[in-house]
Every structure is written in structure tokens, then in C-alpha cells.
Amino acid sequence: MPSEKDFNNHVRSGISLAPMTTFGIGGSAGYFAELDSKEILEGLFKWSRKENVPVFAIGGGSNIVVADEGIEALVLKLSSNGSFGKIDFTVEDDKHIAVVGPAVPSAVLLRRTAEAGFSGLEFFAGIPGTVGGAVACDAGGRFGRISSALVGYEGFPYAFGKQDKGAYWLDKTRDAEDFLITEVVLKIEPAETAVVNTRIQEILDYRRKTQPEGVKSAGCIFQNPPDGPSAGELIDKAGLKGKRRGGAEVSTVHANYIINSSGATAFDVIGLALDIIEVVQEKTGVKLALKVDIWGESLEELISRRGYF
């Protein structure tokens, strides 16, 4: 348990989450703490269990939609100071690896890896957010996913119980969404910096041509179906580019993006997403699955009421 002093020094109430998300929407957290210590982190998990307060974690805020009324929970943000912001390149069992803190922005890790003369993480080019969040959602796309480079990670289970003692070591991204990640190990390969930078630029050029730039969004809002056309292709085929609900709009550049074009609310975004699911299923027979994390009971109720679950 954290001491009263530690709790008061780190935990605040009523902090708006909207500025911490790439959508720029959502209400406040019941409790919020930014931490640079595993010891205090473990103490807050114990406090949350004792007080029956759910725990959420926010990194770059690029894959979440927060309810307009906020959430009654403890939201944790890991500081890029200290071990949560480290980047170490080393050799283990004759293999090159990067040992990375979860708060490191993906773009920073990619730049530092290229500068140090390593490849293997080029798929990060143009992907927002932090390394911890990337592991939690297996970030990536047509150029590769973080699971292909993952050696393993350390994390605290969100359902931190009396039997849990500190962090766990895991090696599968399928479990990652259940853990607040505190360290990531990725495999890398020696390479010429110029060659790596050329590949990074090729990926960035492709993304700039095919994805909206300078907009508020959470990236792709739907998972791609396992077979057949992508979610974006299905949405485009259904004639939904440019469709609006309130201040939310389907991008005219990439149909799998919903953008906050003019003061959208979380209800606008999720309502539009549900409209898309219904129309695409009606016209193509494919039921799209949301890719973003939903924070807040009102959004979960809306989704349930619309028959998504």
C-alpha cells in the first residue's frame, strides 16, 4: 500500500483525459496518477484492490475512446523519466535486443534504433503512441506487427489480486491487454543506418498518401476481417466515406478512420461506428469488429443497446 504521503503526492482527482488522447474527446478520471516508480505502481494496484476501484492505463492515447462523462477509475500514466523511458541496446544469447520502457514513444524508439545501426522495427514508421501501448494492442499493419519482434515483456495484471507479488514476465501479445506493461524486450538486427532510414521513409511516404494527416482520430477504428477485403475497403464499398454523425466523420482519405472534424463527442464517434457496422453488414454480409478500447459505462451501454455485443 502506498503511504498517505505517496498517495497525495501522486494521485489527483478530476483530471481531464481528452488532451491525453489522439481523438481529443472524453471526460475526466476519478483518480489519475503519473508514475516513474514500480514500487509506487504496485502500491496503487494494492490500493485499487482494497477500494474496489478499476485500473486503466494511458500511454499515447491513440487507441481509446473515453466516455464524455469520464470514468470512475484510477487511470495510470507511466512517466518517460527513469526506467519507464529507457532504451538499451544489448546482446543476449548472441542475439541483439532492445530493452525498452513502455512510456517511450514509438517514433523515438524507431529513430534511436536506426541511429544505433539496427533494423527490425521499421513497421513503427508513422504509428503513434507508446511502446507499451503498441504491445497491448499488437500495433502494426501491412508492414509488420510488434508481435513479430517481441521477445517478451514485464507487466502488472490489471486484476491484481492478493496472490500477486509484483510484475510478471510474459511472451505473448494475446495476454498483453490484461497487463500494465512496465518493460518490453524486442529483437533487432544490425543494419546500416542509411538503409534503415530509406525503408522508414518509404513507409512514411505510403502512409501519407493513404491515410489522413493532421486530424484527430484513433487510427483505424475497426479490425480487418481475417479473410477478404479490408475494413476500409468494405466501408468504402458501402458508400460511407464522408458520412457524419455530429462532429464525427468517416475520413474521405481512408474509410477505416473516423475523425473528430468539429467538436465530436464520444457518443458521436461510437454512434457513427455502430452505424457503419450496420450498413456494412447489410450491404456486404460482413460484421466489422471495433479495434479501439472503449472507456466508460455509457459507451458500453450504447454499444449493447445497438446489439453489437
C-alpha cell belonging to residue 69: 462523462
> What string of DSSP letters covers 36-100?
--HHHHHHHHHHHHHHT--EEE-SS--SEEE-TT-EEEEEEEE-SSGGGG-EEEEEETTEEEEEE
Q: What is the mean pLDDT of residues 15-23?
A: 97
185 — phi, psi (to 5°)? -120, 125
Task: Tell me, yes or no, whether 139 and 223 share the same domain.
Answer: no
Q: 93 in a domain, yes or no?
A: yes
Task: Tell me, yes or no, whether 284 and 222 share the same domain.
Answer: yes
pLDDT of amino acid 6: 67
Task: Tell me, yes or no, whether 90 and 164 share the same domain.
Answer: yes
The whole-model pTM stands at 0.91
Given a cut of 70, is residue 3 above it in pLDDT? no
Give the residue numbers spanning the domain of 120. 82-196
Task: Tell me, yes or no, whether 101 and 51 share the same domain.
Answer: no
Task: Tell me, yes or no, whether 86 and 189 share the same domain.
Answer: yes
Q: Tell me the CA distances in angstroms from 69 to 27, 66, 73, one per residue in order.
A: 5, 8, 12
Given a cut of 70, is residue 309 above it in pLDDT? no
Beta-strand relationship, 293-295 and 64-66: parallel
Task: Tell me, yes or no, whether 296 and 259 share the same domain.
Answer: yes
pLDDT tens-place string over residues 119-173: 999 999 999 999 999 999 888 888 999 999 999 999 999 887 777 777 889 887 7
Q: 34 in a domain, yes or no?
A: yes
pLDDT tens-place string over residues 211-222: 998 999 999 999
- Triad 99, 104, 108: Cα angle to 5°: 100
User: How many domains does the chain fold into?
Assistant: 3
| Interaxial angle between packed helices 266-284 and 297-305, expressed in degrees from 0 to 180 and rounded to the nearest 10 | 20
pLDDT tens-place string over residues 36-58: 989 889 999 999 999 999 999 99
DSSP assigned state of 223:
P
- Given pLDDT bands bounded at 50, 70 and 90, which one contains residue 2? low
pLDDT tens-place string over residues 60-112: 999 999 999 999 999 999 999 888 999 999 999 899 999 999 999 999 999 99
pLDDT of amino acid 165: 72
